[in-house]
Amino acid sequence: MTYAQGLHHVTAVAADPQRNVDFYTRVLGLRLVKKTVNQDDPFTYHLYYGDALGRPGTAMTFFPFPGVPAGQPGRGQPIETQFSVPLNTLTEWESRLRAAAVEISAGPSNGQADRLQFTDPDGLPLALIAEAPEAGDLESEPAIRGFAGLTLASHRPDSTARMLTELLGYAPVTSSGATLRFKSQGSVRADHIELIESPMMGRPGYGTVHHIAFRVPNRSALLEMLERVQAARLPCSGEVDRFYFRSVYFREPGGMLFEIATDDPGFTVDEPVESLGQTLKLTAEHEPMRAAIETSLPALEYF
């Protein structure tokens, strides 16, 4: 039976695209690996940040919607996106974030040994988690390797837990207090999920996660997962071609939008690794509108 292999990408809402690029490239050191548009709203950017190779499981993506109201992270949403960093680098990261005037809520300097918690300029909650290296990690210290995992705040934690275990193949691991913990069985990275009950009601807007995507290797695995989503009678998109991957979206019972996405063909399908992210990429459907799209989008400066 095919199951999800950890996270494929996390997509959040941002207010200003330039501020978003500055934070994720200059402060967090990620690479802008794809500059494209929202396929359902081609006059807004869809920005993808990842590791140097733009591999699946490392993609943090944003819809910068101009004029969107501020959101409130809380119940019905993923409420913390966690990145993996090498062991013994959190103190260095804390200094780097403080130097960039990032608001830090917990870290080594106040007794939190294993994670550094902070928000991006839009208020999106993030954490860096110190983890031992795994085979295949790019170890250019103290760089972010990709995702470590997520914390979800479900309206119905028991139902979300069943989604994670029965549909996506996550296994429960030791829980502490009210936090339920799960681990993807088919992945060594981007494999942790924490599920909590949050007293705070979530509200969509900038600074919140829009949806999260789980990895499967290819289309046949995706179609197998689609059958399982349909058998569970969840509201579902059917198969969608996102050009860089194929997807199925569904609304899980705890209120969150989940996606299952394929590793292939990946971000190098329309540009080589060396020049990922340098030019605006449009699908064949939107290419005839390039001039109008380029005129309406704000220019972005990045390196």
* Residue numbers at the binding site for Zn ion (CB under 5 A): 11, 213, 259
At its nearest, how many Å lie between Zn ion and the CB of residue 141? 30
**Residue nearer to Zn ion on the CB measure, 157 or 254:** 254
At its nearest, how many Å lie between Zn ion and the CB of residue 8? 8
**Residue nearer to Zn ion on the CB measure, 143 or 213:** 213
**Residue nearer to Zn ion on the CB measure, 146 or 157:** 146
**Residue nearer to Zn ion on the CB measure, 93 or 214:** 214
At its nearest, how many Å lie between Zn ion and the CB of residue 103? 27
CB-based contact 147:81 (threshold 8 Å): yes
- Helix-then-strand count for the chain, H and E: 5, 17
At its nearest, how many Å lie between Zn ion and the CB of residue 104? 28
Q: How far apart are CA 17 and CA 300, in angstroms?
A: 7
Torsion sign across C-alpha atoms 183, 117, 143, 211: positive
**Residue nearer to Zn ion on the CB measure, 61 or 154:** 61
CA distances, 13 to each of 66, 67, 122, 161, 222 (Å): 10, 11, 9, 25, 26
Q: How far apart are CA 283 and CA 270, in angstroms?
A: 10
**Residue nearer to Zn ion on the CB measure, 11 or 20:** 11
At its nearest, how many Å lie between Zn ion and the CB of residue 302? 22
Q: Give the DSSP per-residue string, 152-173.
A: EE-SSHHHHHHIIIIIT-EEEE
CA distances, 41 to each of 64, 97, 242 (Å): 11, 33, 13
Phi/psi of residue 238, nearest 5 degrees? 75, -170
At its nearest, how many Å lie between Zn ion and the CB of residue 248? 11
Q: Which of 11, 96, 102, 100 is nearest to 49 (CA)?
A: 11
Phi/psi of residue 267, nearest 5 degrees? -75, -10
At its nearest, how many Å lie between Zn ion and the CB of residue 202? 18
DSSP 23: I
**Residue nearer to Zn ion on the CB measure, 17 or 142:** 17
